[in-house]
A = this chain, B = another copy of it.
Amino acid sequence: MSNATTTPTLQPAIPRAMSFYDQLKFDANGLVPAIIQEQKTGRVLMMAWMNRASLEKTLVTGKTHFWSRSRQKFWMKGESSGHTQTVKDIAFDCDGDTLLIQVEQIGAACHEGYRSCFFRSAQNGGAAFKITEPQLETPEQIYGKK
């Protein structure tokens, strides 16, 4: 008779590819771009960069956290303005190198006081541009006078 039943069977390791994080490809600087979309309206609000630590912080806290390439530091969206973003869903693309995050946005997403950072569009084949939405607040109203 076979002694197979007495031989301990090794369970296959859970493939690392099962994890969300393992699907992602951070760039040479350890970053991925994160597109932020307002879930209830579909309005694309902004794009900013995340490293793995800021993404983990986003998942744990439920508020968007980014990595500032110019200031080389973490920032939570709304930490100065109060205009925080509550995370509803985090999707990633087929190449694993871009995130699409659905949020509930408080106030203006743009530091210039517009609902969306994409408040200007090209016109006349690129010869000009126009502003496409109202400014909700001035930067002074959001951040206070310096």
Contacts and interface: CB of A to CB of B under 8 A. Distances in A.
Interface in A118-141: 118-123, 125-129, 132
Interface in A64-93: 89-93
A100 interface: yes
B123 A94 contact: no
A98 interface: yes
| Copies, count | 2
B92 A118 contact: yes
A143 interface: no
Contacts of A100: 44, 118
Contact of A47 (B33, B114, B117): B33
Contacts of A118: 91-93, 98, 100
Which of A47, A94, A98 has the largest count of B CB atoms less than 10 A from its CB?
A94
Nearest to A111: B94
16 contacts: A18-B128, A33-B47, A35-B35, A35-B44, A41-B42, A44-B100, A47-B98, A55-B126, A89-B122, A91-B119, A91-B120, A94-B110, A94-B117, A94-B119, A95-B117, A100-B118
